């Protein structure tokens, strides 16, 4: 008799499956560095809870025999409205690091955002042929900022993304408990280090401290203001993005300074613990910029429905963070490619089931938080009160 019992599926069918694969291969302290948030991880948890609370009203009889998720973000053509979020030190996860991620982004037809703290050089990442944007952490040393901008420009980056929510690094308790420090062979290769590349403070373990936080706090400028954004706007000809905006007044300010986009983000719950979920803050930001710049979102995107939820609330696209690192850890370039193709498949399926032939139709979906959920941001602006419906901008 042959056994008829179903075999466990080997191939991941959702991003959570890839997370489990990454958990199986990563040492605990590296997994904690990736997964952890700051403080009590309240904001980290809020990101998921708020996404789960959003319902979308599907349209029917919309002729969805073909569905197209292609579009553009900041003038960069995209196969879906997704870019890979900037994430530091990717060689911690896989020897190929950012090169594997960039190659997978290229295969998926989406942009890859290169972190200031990447562990491969801008030139090597550029050589993969991926469409790249450059994420800037503003250094105390302004000459270093100018050098980074020049190197990113030379590498053909298509946009500059200034991260505005790290005046200091959030207290990441997991890293502090683990005395987290980088291994010597994973340096921030694009930063000038007096006396050579490594070791820096980021490589020196210390009791009760995260060495990465110590390095960040020494290297990054905490005194940035909108005047610096104006300076940066004059300095670069590339589209400028301000990442880490939650308050609609800051979003308005960014648009007034000539930013081409803001990223509504709480840094994946890694910075100010107590900040609202990004998806909860999104509607008020969309309203504040009133079409004067694009609005992107990150923090907690874990599937195609989350992308659709973000579009329905007025985002033009999302950045995806940790799931990409899960794929990288589990399978290098192939693992990241798998994450992105799952996300693309889920998005197309969600669009089909919700009756959206294209991204314009997705923006017109009606979204509503479930009663009693996701009140932050919406309540304070008077845009929507809890349980009320929000009709997308181009509803038909």
**CB 84 to ligand FNR: min, Å:** 9
Select the span of 20-28, 151-159, 213-221, 264-272 touching ligand FNR (CB under 6 A): 264-272
**CB 248 to ligand FNR: min, Å:** 19
Helix (H, G, I), strand (E, B) or coil at 285: helix
In the bound state with ligand FNR, the residue whose beta carbon lies nearer, of 47 and 338, is 47
**CB 254 to ligand FNR: min, Å:** 15
**CB 49 to ligand FNR: min, Å:** 13
Residues near 323 by beta carbon (within 8 Å), at least 6 away in sequence = 15, 18, 19, 301, 302, 339, 343
Residues near 143 by beta carbon (within 8 Å), at least 6 away in sequence = none
Select the span of 99-107, 189-197, 260-268, 360-368 touching ligand FNR (CB under 6 A): 260-268
State which of residues 80, 152, 320, 363 lies at the interface with ligand FNR (CB under 6 A). 320
Select the span of 65-73, 84-92, 308-316, 339-347 touching ligand FNR (CB under 6 A): 84-92
State which of residues 252, 267, 308, 312 lies at the interface with ligand FNR (CB under 6 A). 267
CA neighbor of 262 nearest in space, from 227, 226, 295: 295
Alpha-carbon span 214 to 31, nearest angstrom: 20
240 φ/ψ sector (left φ>0, alpha ψ -120 to 50, else beta): beta
Q: Is there a catalytic annotation at residue 193?
A: no
Q: Is position 88 an interface residue for ligand FNR (rule: CB under 6 A)?
A: yes
Q: Is position 115 an interface residue for ligand FNR (rule: CB under 6 A)?
A: yes
Alpha-carbon span 160 to 229, nearest angstrom: 11
Select the span of 249-257, 298-306, 352-360, 381-389 touching ligand FNR (CB under 6 A): 298-306
**Using CB atoms, what's the residue nearest to ligand FNR?**
321
Instruction: Return the H-helix or E-strand segment holding 367.
Output: strand 366-369
The residue count of the chain comes to: 396
Alpha-carbon span 246 to 284, nearest angstrom: 9
Q: Binders of ligand FNR: how many residues, by CB under 6 A?
A: 21
State which of residues 122, 309, 322, 384 lies at the interface with ligand FNR (CB under 6 A). 322
Upper half-sphere CA count for residue 262 (Cβ side, 13 Å): 36
Alpha-carbon span 202 to 212, nearest angstrom: 4
State which of residues 98, 175, 201, 298 lies at the interface with ligand FNR (CB under 6 A). 298
State which of residues 265, 305, 310, 316 lies at the interface with ligand FNR (CB under 6 A). 265
In the bound state with ligand FNR, the residue whose beta carbon lies nearer, of 128 and 163, is 163
Interface with ligand FNR in residues 217-246 (CB under 6 A): 243
**CB 143 to ligand FNR: min, Å:** 21
Q: Is 256 exposed, middle or buried, given 0-12, 13-18 or 19+ CB atoms closer than 10 A?
A: middle
Q: Is position 268 an interface residue for ligand FNR (rule: CB under 6 A)?
A: yes
Three-state secondary structure readout of 97-134? HHHHHHHHHHHHCCCEEECCCCCCCHHHHHCCCCCEEE
Q: Is position 117 an interface residue for ligand FNR (rule: CB under 6 A)?
A: yes
In the bound state with ligand FNR, the residue whose beta carbon lies nearer, of 272 and 361, is 272
Select the span of 18-26, 149-157, 316-324, 345-353 touching ligand FNR (CB under 6 A): 316-324
Alpha-carbon span 147 to 214, nearest angstrom: 23
Q: Is position 87 an interface residue for ligand FNR (rule: CB under 6 A)?
A: yes
CA neighbor of 161 nearest in space, from 285, 259, 270, 231: 259
Interface with ligand FNR in residues 16-75 (CB under 6 A): 34, 47
Select the span of 54-62, 86-94, 205-213, 350-358 touching ligand FNR (CB under 6 A): 86-94
Tokens 């195609």, located at residue: 304
Q: Is position 105 an interface residue for ligand FNR (rule: CB under 6 A)?
A: no
Alpha-carbon span 164 to 148, nearest angstrom: 17
DSSP string computed for 26-55? S-HHHHHHHH--STT-HHHHHHHHHHHTEE
Active-site residues, by number, are: 267
Sites of contact with ligand FNR (CB under 6 A): 34, 47, 85-88, 115, 117, 135, 163, 243, 265, 267-268, 298-301, 320-322
């Amino acid at each position: 008799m042959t056994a008829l019992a179903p075999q466990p599926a080997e191939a991941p069918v959702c991003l959570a499956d890839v997370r489990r694969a990454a958990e199986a291969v990563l040492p605990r302290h590296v997994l904690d560095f990736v997964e952890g948030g700051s403080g009590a991880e309240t904001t980290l948890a809020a990101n998921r809870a708020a996404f789960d609370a959003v319902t979308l009203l599907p349209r029917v009889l919309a002729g969805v025999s073909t569905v197209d998720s292609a579009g553009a973000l900041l003038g960069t053509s995209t196969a879906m409205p997704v870019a890979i979020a900037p994430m530091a030190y990717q060689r911690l996860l896989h020897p190929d690091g950012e090169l594997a991620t960039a190659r997978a982004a290229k295969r998926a037809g989406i942009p890859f955002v290169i972190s200031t703290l990447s562990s491969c050089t801008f030139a090597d990442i550029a050589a993969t042929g991926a469409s790249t944007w450059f994420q800037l952490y503003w250094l105390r040393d302004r000459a270093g900022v100018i050098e980074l901008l020049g190197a990113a420009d030379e590498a053909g980056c298509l946009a500059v993304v200034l991260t505005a929510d790290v005046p200091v690094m959030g207290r990441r308790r997991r890293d502090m408990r683990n005395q987290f420090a980088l291994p010597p062979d994973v340096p921030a290769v694009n930063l000038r280090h007096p006396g050579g590349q490594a070791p820096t403070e980021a490589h020196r373990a210390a009791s009760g401290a995260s060495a990465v936080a110590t390095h960040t706090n020494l290297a990054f400028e905490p005194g940035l203001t909108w005047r610096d954004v104006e300076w940066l706007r004059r300095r670069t000809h590339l589209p400028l993005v301000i990442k880490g905006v939650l308050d609609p007044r800051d979003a308005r300010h960014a648009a007034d300074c000539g930013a081409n986009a803001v990223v509504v983000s709480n840094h994946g719950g890694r910075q100010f613990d107590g900040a609202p979920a990004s998806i909860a803050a999104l509607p008020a930001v969309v309203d504040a910029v009133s079409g004067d710049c694009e609005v992107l979102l990150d923090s907690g995107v874990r599937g195609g429905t989350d992308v659709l939820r973000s579009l329905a609330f007025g985002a033009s696209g999302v950045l995806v963070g940790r799931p990409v690192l899960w794929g990288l850890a589990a399978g290098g370039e192939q693992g990241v490619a798998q994450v992105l193709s799952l996300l693309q498949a889920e998005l197309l399926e969600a669009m089909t089931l919700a009756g959206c032939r294209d991204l314009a139709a997705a923006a017109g979906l009606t979204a509503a938080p479930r009663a009693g959920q996701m009140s932050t941001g919406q309540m304070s602006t008077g845009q929507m009160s809890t349980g009320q419906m929000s009709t997308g901008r181009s509803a038909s």
